[in-house]
Each structure stands twice: as structure tokens, then as C-alpha cells.
Amino acid sequence: MIVYASRTGNVRYIVSKLQAESIELTETLKVDKPYLLLTYTDRLGEVPAKVAQFLQANGQLCKGVVVSGNSNFGHSFFGGAGDKIAKAYQIPLVRKLELRGFQADYDAIQQFYETRVKNENLLTIK
């Protein structure tokens, strides 16, 4: 499953390019199976508050993070939310995307999802 947060529509667009079950994140969302998190970066490299709150309750099932950002804010801030989430939850930072990203990004995300998230979901069901 993919869980995502989108403020401007960029992350929602990225999710639409993927072949995966997905759900938009809310602060009260509870998940019961492994997922890939897609999020945006807030302010200057910060994790959005609703994403942080969601992760407090569901972080143990997160298998990786993809982050969208804007490099106009500088290299040290670009995709900072992904860096912070990956470090805090000891998960892979799958990809940092400039705004909506490109087809090569979608392909890499899809491959990670297929091999590291979808397969684990199948094991959970058995």
C-alpha cells in the first residue's frame, strides 16, 4: 500500500503514475499493513505536521519514504522531510523528486514498491 500526503497536488500526481493501492494520509489514519510513504517537504526541509503525527502511530509499518521538494530552496533543504523520516525510522529514502518528478523516478518507485512493500504485504496476508 502507498500512503501519501499532498499539499499542492504534486505528490497526488506522482501517486497517480504508480500501480499500487493508495490512500491519502490524515492525522487519524491507522494502517495495519506495510506501506510506502510519499510526502512533500514543508517550509525549509521540515516534515509536515500531519505526516509526523501519522508516523507516531504508524511508523513501525513504514518500509520506505519518497519525498517531493523544490530545489529552489537550496540543496541543504531540498527533500529534507525525507532525510529526517528515513533517519528517524531507519528506513530507505527511496527517492527525492523535484516537484512532480520524471518517468525514471516513477519507475524506480514502482520497482521499490513491488520488491520491498507489495511482497511484504503478501507475506502479511498469508
Q: Highest mean pLDDT range out of 67-71, 76-80, 100-104?
A: 100-104
CA angle 54, 55, 61 (to 5 degrees): 115
**Confidence bin at 15 (pLDDT 50/70/90):** very high
Q: Among 17-21, 110-114, 118-122, where is mean pLDDT lowest? A: 118-122
In one-letter notation, the amino acid at residue 74 is G
HSE, CB side, 13 Å, CA atoms: give it for residue 13: 14
Output 36 or 43, whichever has higher pLDDT: 36
pLDDT at 121: 59
Closest alpha carbon to 15 in 113, 118, 126, 117: 113
Q: Which CATH architecture has domain 2-125?
A: 3-Layer(aba) Sandwich (3.40)
pTM of the model: 0.91
Q: What is the pLDDT of residues 89-100, one digit of tens each?
A: 999 999 999 999
What is the average per-residue pLDDT within 62-74? 90
**Confidence bin at 74 (pLDDT 50/70/90):** confident
Average pLDDT, the chain: 91
Task: Break the chain into its structural domains and give their ranges.
Answer: 2-125
HSE, CB side, 13 Å, CA atoms: give it for residue 17: 19
